[in-house]
Amino acid sequence: MKRYPAYEFPEYVDWRPDPAVQQAFADRLVADPARAAVIGALDREALLSLYEGLVRARLHDIHLKRWVKQGVITKAWLGAGEEAVTVGACAALRPEDVVGPMIRNAAACFQRGMPMVECFAAYLGTTDAITQGRDLHIGDLEFGVVPPISHVGDLVPVMAGCALAFRLRGEPRVAVTWTGDGSTATGAVHEGLRMASATRAPFICFVQNNLVALGTRGQAHFTGDFADLPAAYGMTGMVVDGNNVLDVYAATVLAAERCRRGEGPVLIVAQTFRMGGHATHDEREARELFPPEVFAHWGQRDPIGCFETWLVEARGVAPEALSAIEARVDAAIEAAAREAVSGKGVREPDPATVAQGVWA
């Protein structure tokens, strides 16, 4: 896809495929026979849809960065470089399933069909968003999205409760959430996993291990292996390459099948890396947390670049077909962003409504 030097991580600007990394990407797809079968069953349309999701997520973040630079908003919490964990998981779900994304998984919102303009509008605090200017964390049950709160980890018991409801009613639905490696330290995550395990709820929890908890390297406070967690909780465990959208997709499909069969919750550990800051305001500090080789390593594993290369080289997709998707998504995001911004100063919440809605 087109790169934007003003907004992208240095490693992404002149990104070129590395044969060894691409080989590892391809090897990963056949490493597990069950996942390989799921991936093998994907037709061209499904593959391109995954690509579209990744590109949409990236361009959404680039637009937010642009807004920060222009002073439209003061900061944004981005998922750039970690898109595959969100997009691959959501693509594996059915419309009746529900997801509880962290703010870094905002792509789950539009992956589930929420209008992009609403997601932008939430940041602007205008009445175009379901939140009506009351919060920037967004979701909408109409699309099966439960919005997060700032208290990381708290979504885990809540989403386990959604799954519990499905189990009680005997519905073949699945609830999915993501927690960062940092927030696995919270009591909420532990309690949520224990609840899900105790109730055998159809619940999938990702540990999105991006190696950093806000401004501290994850290894500074956790030297264990997240892959050991599922066994400790009596849950089915899976480990995925969080930068490989097909691996994430296939694992989620298999996890959801287990859940729908009533085989209890699944904990998926996704290995990835936060290329940027905790938010847009601390990218410099984030770059100082790890040596440049780490950024080079993960930069080479750009989930979009790797998948794009694989689509062209292994599946014979014409680069023009990918460019066409990118152009279409880019135009849609431009339009959504423009529409959202047009509400600024116009479709602002009326201060007279401030006290409304505390009570249902």
What does the binding site for another protein look like in residue numbers (CB under 8 A)?
Answer: 98, 130-132, 134-135, 137-141, 146-147, 149, 151, 154, 156-169, 175, 187-188, 190-192, 194-195, 198-199, 357-360
Q: Is the dihedral of CA 51, 54, 59, 62 positive or negative?
A: negative
Residue 88 or 192 having the CB closest to another protein = 192
Least distance between another protein and beta carbon 97 (Å): 11
Residue 135 or 257 having the CB closest to another protein = 135
CA distance 301 to 305: 7
CA distance 116 to 294: 33
Least distance between another protein and beta carbon 322 (Å): 35
Which residues partner with 236 through β-bridges? 266
Least distance between another protein and beta carbon 64 (Å): 20
First-last CA distance in the chain: 46
Residue 17 or 115 having the CB closest to another protein = 115
Least distance between another protein and beta carbon 149 (Å): 6
Residue 53 or 148 having the CB closest to another protein = 148
Least distance between another protein and beta carbon 196 (Å): 8
Least distance between another protein and beta carbon 265 (Å): 12
CA distance 262 to 266: 11
| Residue from 248, 309, 302, 203 nearest 38 by CA | 248
**How many CA within 13 A on the CB side of residue 268?**
29
Residue 146 or 306 having the CB closest to another protein = 146
Q: How long a stretch of residues is the chain?
A: 360
Least distance between another protein and beta carbon 130 (Å): 5
Residue 133 or 276 having the CB closest to another protein = 133
> Residue 192: enclosing H or E segment and its boundaries?
helix 187-199
Residue 165 or 294 having the CB closest to another protein = 165
CA distance 247 to 270: 10
Q: Is 281 left (phi over 0), alpha (psi -120 to 50) or beta?
A: alpha
As given in the structure block, the two tokens for residue 343 are: 């509400």
